[in-house]
Amino acid sequence: MPHHANATRSTGPETGARPPLNVGLLVDSLTQPRWVYDIVAAIQQSSCARVALVVQNGAAEPNRGILRKLSRNRARLAYVLYTRIDDWLFRREPDAFTEVSIADLVDGVPTLNVAPVKKRFSDFFEPSDVSAIGAHNLDVALRLGFRILRGDALRIARHGVWSYHHGDNLVNRGGPPGFWEVMQGEPVTGSVLQILNDELDNGKVIYRSHAPTDRRSVRRNQDNFYRKSVAFVMRKLNDLYNCGPAALECDEHRDGYVPYSRPLYREPGNLETLRLTSRLASRYVADKLKELAWRDVENGFFIFVEELPFRTNKGHISVLDLAPSGQLRRVEPVLEQPHHLSYPFVFEWRGAHYMVPETGAARRIELYRATDFPRGWQAEEVLMDGVYAVDATFAEIDGRWWMFANIAPDGTRNYDELHVFHAPGPHGPWRPHRRNPVKSDARCARPAGRLFWRNGDLYRPSQDCSGQYGAAIVINRVLELNASEYRETAIARIEPKWAPDLLGAHTLNSAPGISIVDVLVRRSRFARRQRPVEYRTAM
C-alpha cells in the first residue's frame, strides 16, 4: 500500500544558457595519469564548464642519477620492492595510473609556463604570474601538479584552487595514498576534494567519499578509489553552476576548525615494511554472502534467494517454500541466465508479480514478470542498459516509484556510491536524482533489502561493506526524499553477534509473521556433512 512521505517533491534549477565556468589546470606536464585524463575529458565534454587555461610548472626538476637515488632511498628499499611486487601481482592495464597525454584535450587552450618560487616544501607564485593568470578570469583552478601551494597562488580563481587529498584528512594526512589503510586494516579508504588554504591538509572540504579498502593489495586499493574520485570535480562543478557558491558549503565547515590527532604518515622504513607485509600476507578473505527476498502466501512463505554453486561461480535465483511452522518444504531453481543473477527483489503491482534480480554482470537492470508464480518468469523489460548497477531496490511513495541502487564506474568496486532514480511506475522512464550519487560511503550506501515504514517514518536498510562485503546491516531513517534532495541518518545496526559462528549479515526483509536476515556462517571445510543453518531470534 502506498505511503505518504513527509517531504515534498521539487526539482532543482535547470542548466540555462549561461556561459560555462572557466577552469584552469595546474599541471607539471601534459603527460598525466589516466585518472587525470578522465577528469579533463569530462570537463571538456560538459556543458557547464570548460578548460580556459593550462598553467604548466616551468621549474626544472633536478636530474638525480641512479646511484644517488639508491643512496637517498636506502632506508626504504623494502617499501620500493613491495610496490614493485604488488604492481606485478595486481596491476591491470590500463589502470588509473597509466600515463597518457592530455594534449588532445587542451589543444587550442592558452598555456602559461610558471616557475614557482620554491621554499622548502611549498611553491609560491610571483605577482606577475598571479596577474597573468588573473587575466583569464578563472572560476576554478584545479591543482593537478606543483607542490604545496601557498600565498597568492591560492587566490588565482574566483572559487579557489581545488585539490584532491587521496586519503581521509580526518584520519590520514601524509602518504602514501591508500597504503596505510590497507596495512592497518582500515575498513574504508577516504578521499576528499578541497579548496586549498594556507593550512596543510586542512582545506575546505567540498566533497568527501569513503571507498571500501582492498584487504590484500595497495595497488588495487589505489586504482579503485582514484578511479572513483574522478567524478568528484564534475559533480561539484555541476553543483556550482546550477546552485551557485552555496553548493560549496557543507555541515563540517560550520565549526571552522577540524582537529587532527594522528601521525603525519610517510613511506615506511625497511623493518616496518617487512612487519606490515607479513601481516598482510596472513589475512583472511571472507566468502560471498547470498541475497534473499520474500513473498508471503496463505499457507506459508516463498523466499527467493540467490543460489551460487562454487563450481560455476555463477548465481541463479531459487525459491524456498517455507511452511508457517518454519519447516522448509521445497527448494527449486526458478530463474537462470547466461550471466550471474543475485539479490532478487520481488514485488506486486496491479495484480501481477514482478522481480528485479541483480544483473550487473550484464551491465543492465532487468524487469521480469511472473507467468506462473512463483516458478515461472519471463523477461519483461530492460529498465536501464549500459550500467553496472547492483542491488536495485524499489519503493512506491505518494504514487511515485523510487529506485535505489549502487552504481560503480567500470573497473571499480560497487560498495560505496548510492544512486537514486524516480519514475511514474516500475516500467519507467527512470530519471536520475539531481544529486547522484546521493551517498558515497562504503559503510552505509549499498542497499540491504526493501524500505519499510514504522510509526510514520521511512527506513532504508543498507550494508556496511567496510572491511568486508556485508559485515553488518545499517538501518537509516530517511529524512528527505524528493527529486532534488535526499537525506538520511543511521539510527541502528544489526551486527552478526547473536551466534558464535556468524561472520556477516547482508540483507533484511520482513512480512507479517516473519523477518529474515541472511548471514555468513563459519563452517569447517573438513566437515563431512553440513547441517542446514537455522537461527531464530526476535526481530
* Range list for CATH 2.115.10.20 in the chain: 292-521
Q: Cell 552504481 identifies what position?
A: 407
- What number of other Cβ atoms are within 10 A of residue 27's Cβ? 22
Mean pLDDT of the 411-427 span: 90
At the topology level, CATH places domain 292-521 in Tachylectin-2; Chain A (2.115.10)
Residue 486 is predicted with a pLDDT of: 95
Residue 14 is predicted with a pLDDT of: 44
> Check: CATH 3.40.50.170 for 21-249+276-281?
yes
- The winner for highest mean pLDDT among 31-45, 267-281, 304-318 is 31-45
Give CA–CA dist 404/476, Å, rounded. 13
Enclosing H/E stretch for 296: strand 292-297
Decide if pLDDT at 432 tops 90. yes
Query: How far does the chain reach from its first CA to its final CA, in angstroms?
Result: 22
Mean pLDDT of the 100-119 span: 95
Mean pLDDT of the 35-58 span: 96
* Range list for CATH 3.40.50.170 in the chain: 21-249+276-281
Cell of 326: 518454519
pLDDT digits (tens, 9 = 90+) for 116-131: 999 888 999 999 999 9
Mean pLDDT of the 272-296 span: 53
pLDDT digits (tens, 9 = 90+) for 74-88: 667 777 888 888 888
Q: Does residue 198 sit in helix, strand or coil?
A: coil
Mean pLDDT of the 295-322 span: 79
442 or 173, greater pLDDT: 442
- Least confident segment among 198-212, 291-305, 457-471, 474-488: 291-305
- Least confident segment among 65-69, 158-162, 387-391: 65-69
Residue 203 is predicted with a pLDDT of: 86
Residue 501 is predicted with a pLDDT of: 64
Query: Looking at the DSSP assignment, which residues form a beta bridge with residue 441?
Result: 210
Residue 441 is classified by DSSP as: B
Residue percentage of the chain with pLDDT more than 70: 80
